[in-house]
Structure 1
Amino acid sequence: MSANQTDPMIGRLIDGRYRVRSRIARGGMATVYLASDLRLERPVAVKIMHGHLADDENFKERFIQEARSAARLAHPNVVNVYDQGQDDESAYIVMEYLPGITLRELLQEHRVLTPEQATDILEAVLAGLAAAHRSGIVHRDLKPENVLLADDGRIKIGDFGLARAASANTATGAALLGTIAYLSPELVTRGIADTRSDIYALGIMLYEMLTGEQPYKGEQPMQIAYQHANDTVPMPSAVNPRVPAELDELVLWATARDPEQRPRDARAMLEHLYDLQRGDAVPGGTQKTMVLPRAMAPVPPAEAFGAGRNPTGPAGQNGPTGQTGPAGLRGSTGETAILQKARHRTGPVTPALGTNAEALGRKAAARRKRGAVWLVLVVVLALVAGTTAWWFSLGPGSQATVPAITNASVAQATSKLEAQGFGVSDEQVKTYDPVIAAGQVTGTRPEAGATVHKGSAVRLVVSQGPRILSLPKVVGQQEDAAKKALSPFTVGASTTRFDQKAKGTVLGIAGKNASGATVDLQNATTYPERRPVTLTVSLGPVPDVTGQSLSAAQAALTAVGLKSVQSGGEYSDSVANGAVIRQGAEGDGAVVPGSTIDLVVSKGPTPITVPDETGRKVSTAESALAALGLKVSYADCTTAQCATATALGFDWRKLVKVQSQSPAGQGTAFKGDTVTLKYDGSSLSVG
Structure 2
Amino acid sequence: MDTTVADTLIGTTIDGRYRITGRVARGGMATVYRATDERLGRPVALKIIHPSQATNVHFVDRFTDEAKTIARLTHPNVVAVYDQGRHQGLPYLVMEFVQGRTLRDLLAQRKKLSAVEALAIVEQMLSAIAAAHRAGLVHRDVKPENVLVAEAPSGGVADLVDAVVKVADFGLARAIEASTVDESGQLMATVAYVAPELVQAGQADARTDVYSAGIVLFEMLTGQVPYDGADPVEVAWQHVDNDVPAPSTLVPGLPRALDELVARATRRNPSDRPTDAGRLLTEVQAVRDGLGGINLETALMRQVPGRPAVADATTIVPTVPAADATAMVPPVPGGGYQPPGGHRPNWARLPEQSGARPAPYGRPAAGSRGEGFFADRRRVTLFSLIAVIALVVIGSTWWVAFGRYTEAPSLVNLPKAEAEAAAKKAGFGVIYGEPGQYSATVAPDSVVSQNPAPGEEVVRGDTLTLFLSLGPEVHPVPDVSGQEEAAAKGAIEEVGLKYKEGKAAYSDTVPQGVVISTNPKAGTELKPGATVTVVLSKGRAPIQVPDLVGLNINEARAKLQELGLTALERTKESDEPADQVLAQTPKAGTGVEKNAEITLDLSKGPPLVTIPDLNNQPCQQAEGTLRGLGLQVQVNNLNPLNPNSAVHGQNPGPNTQVQPNSGVQITCF
Tell me the TM-score normalized by structure 2: 0.40
Tell me the TM-score normalized by structure 1: 0.39
Q: Which has the larger radius of gyration?
A: 1
